[in-house]
Amino acid sequence: MGEIRLYVLGAVPELAAMLLILGVGLYLTIRLGVPQLVLLPRALRLFLRRLVSPEKKDGVSSFQALCTALAATVGTGNLVGVAGAICLGGPGAIFWMWVCGFLGMATKYSETALALRYRVKTPAGFSGGPMYVMTRGLGERFRPMAKLYC
């Protein structure tokens, strides 16, 4: 009986976190007008145009930026996680990974848009991220949270 209680107490916070993350993804998907599908043609058009046209030698190309973003997002942990989910949950796990991935795209889009909106120009270039969103977007009362995040 004690083992069941410990299992339930451990699973409830995980379930709540999962529902919160998926709920935020669903809310952002609806509120932003399904940006995963609406913005896809434009993103592909811009990406393919940059591949065909010659690029400047200074700075980072669109393809380099895409590869860097994908490398930061898709790590070996994600690959092992997918294999583990299929092993433990069976083929149905793939469907739920697609659902979570689709809803997670709106969250990632919002995170990137906010980081670009509240970035700061420095002598070395631009600097941005969640800490700037917290201080510049949410106000001074979130400054301690931004420092804690850093």
Percent over 90 (pLDDT), the chain: 22
Q: What is the dihedral of CA 17, 20, 24, 25, to 10 degrees?
A: 60
Whether residues 93 and 148 share a domain: the answer is no
For residue 51, being part of any structural domain is answered with no
For residue 56, being part of any structural domain is answered with no
17-21, 55-59, 137-141: the lowest-pLDDT one: 55-59
Whether residues 126 and 148 share a domain: the answer is yes
- How many structural domains are present in the chain? 2
For residue 66, being part of any structural domain is answered with no
Please report the pLDDT score of residue 76 as a whole number. 64
Whether residues 2 and 28 share a domain: the answer is yes
Over the stretch 29-82, which tens digit does the pLDDT of each residue have?
Answer: 999 999 999 999 998 888 788 777 766 666 677 677 777 777 777 776 677 888
> In the numeric block, which tokens belong to residue 76?
């070996």
Please report the pLDDT score of residue 28 as a whole number. 96
Whether residues 141 and 75 share a domain: the answer is no
For residue 28, being part of any structural domain is answered with yes
Q: pTM higher than 0.75 for the full model?
A: no
Q: Which domain holds residue 25?
A: 1-32+71-114
Whether residues 83 and 146 share a domain: the answer is no
Q: Are 131 and 150 in contact (CB under 8 A)?
A: yes
Distances (CA, A) of 29 to 11, 84, 109: 27, 28, 10
Whether residues 149 and 80 share a domain: the answer is no
